[in-house]
Amino acid sequence: MRLSDAVLRRATTAIVGLIVAVGASAARPAPASSLAGDLDAARRECIAAAHDTQQREQAVATLAHRIDLFRRDAEGRQRDLDQSRPEQARVLGAIEVFQRHASDRLAFFRENPLDRARSEMLVEGTVAGLRAELRALSAEIKRVAELRNEIAARQGELAGARDAVESGRAHLTQLVARRLDLTRRLSPEASGENARFARLGRQAADIADLIKLADAAIDRREAADPTRPRDLRVFDPPHSALVMPVSDPITRGFGATERDDADASKAASQGLSIAAAAGAEAVAPYDGRVIYAGPFRDRGVVLIIRHAGLYHTVLAGLGRADVGPGEWVLAGEPVGAMPDAVDKIAGRPLYFELRHDGRPVDPHPWLAIPDEGRDPQNGDQKVRE
């Protein structure tokens, strides 16, 4: 049965009205409370994705290290085989001679049974020794071949692990972009302040001065901030634990000195140096507010996060920062990345510093790293004047 023209017109009008209403609803800005909830959810997603990416980066580092050990083992064994070629030729030649003249090797001693028996024992012992050397040589050649096969297999596994890292980083980039978009929608006035904070890096004499200038600049901003996380924690050692900013080993500890031929004695380190891989994701060591993010002197991109209790953390040597001054971060939230392999400053370690009331403090006692001989209760005794 056909519908009348009037019914069709009414249905068409209703559908058009519904489309217009949906479009208008989508165009209206979301309430601040909804955006704040979305930002909290985005932060949690970023933390989870950053943790997953760092685990993948650690898997790549472990595989690469294992391959390097296999390669060095195979190269060392092959080098020994190459150097022992004259000895190999001697063993093989002696075995061939004994096998070829086995029937008449005792012809010189047939007139003396005692000498013949003694010579028989000597020859058998010599042949047994030569055969043992031949077996060892064959086993070594076989082991080199096994190592090369193992390296080839691990190389394929490493390629897959690196692809997984790149996939994780791409996903994390999307999540960070969404977090930034939500932050700007909640606090649009903060998006134009990067240039003002960048000038602080040119004015400051050192890290301590930079912290003072950046703190003062942040404090001049509006106190009420809708982007502030609702569950922000207070850093309260020894009851608080710091997250490692990257998943790589510490190469130089707090208070360690560095010596070289040009300078017989350098100042003791006021932080930790971490052998971060090229492009490695860096995360916030603890909840806080970014007060500086940008280049500083010869330290690459520097990120400073202010925590409660007069504590600051400093990350230096980054290739880029994914957060800006005034933004809030939670522990484990992605904040930047190390320089890529093609970057001219690639290969430098990540420098991680903790300061309390302006003074460098050893962060090691509050990191989730076994450290014998240190008491987390006495971490502030490591403060350097």
Q: What is the pLDDT of residue 113?
A: 64
Q: What is the pLDDT of residue 242?
A: 94
CATH architecture of 32-177: Orthogonal Bundle (1.10)
Q: Which of the given ranges, 63-77, 86-100, 214-228, has the highest pLDDT on average?
A: 63-77
Rounded Cα distance between 186 and 182, Å, is: 6
Q: Which residue has the higher pLDDT, 367 or 313?
A: 313
Q: Which residue has the higher pLDDT, 113 or 247?
A: 247
Q: What is 194-382's CATH superfamily? A: Glucose Permease (Domain IIA) (2.70.70.10)
CA 76 remoteness from chain centre: 29
Write the pLDDT tens digit of every residue in 238-285. Answer: 888 999 999 888 998 888 876 543 444 567 888 999 999 999 999 999
Across 158-181, average pLDDT: 95
Q: What is the pLDDT of residue 261?
A: 39
Residue 15 has pLDDT above 60, yes or no: no
At 53, list the tokens: 């990416």
Q: Which of the given ranges, 220-229, 237-246, 361-370, has the highest pLDDT on average?
A: 237-246
Widest distance between CA atoms in the chain:
134
Across 365-370, average pLDDT: 72
Are 32-177 and 194-382 equal in CATH topology? no
Rounded Cα distance between 365 and 371, Å, is: 7
| Long-range contacts from 22-31, C-beta under 8 angstroms, 24+ separation | 29/185, 30/185
Q: Are 81 and 140 in contact (CB under 8 A)?
A: yes
CA 335 remoteness from chain centre: 13
Concatenating the DSSP letter of every residue in 321-385 gives: ESS-TT-EE-TT-EEEEPPPTTSTTTTPPEEEEEEETTEEE--GGGBSS--TT--GGGGGGG---
Residue ranges per structural domain of the chain: 32-177, 194-382
At 319, list the tokens: 């290739």
Average pLDDT, the chain: 79
- Nearest CA among 281, 275, 277, 260 for reference residue 334: 281
Write the pLDDT tens digit of every residue in 340-354. Answer: 876 666 668 999 999
Residue 3 has pLDDT above 60, yes or no: no
CA 229, 233, 235, 240 dihedral sign is negative
- Nearest CA among 259, 260, 187, 270 for reference residue 221: 187
Residue bearing tokens 């997603």: 45
Q: What is the pLDDT of residue 26?
A: 44
Determine phi and psi for 62, rounding to 5 degrees: -65, -45
Report the range of poorest mean pLDDT among 40-44, 91-95, 236-240, 269-273.
91-95
Rounded Cα distance between 205 and 248, Å, is: 30
Rounded Cα distance between 292 and 14, Å, is: 54
Report the range of poorest mean pLDDT among 48-57, 114-123, 324-333.
114-123
Residue 28 has pLDDT above 60, yes or no: no
| Contacts (Cβ under 8 Å, ≥6 apart) of 192 | none
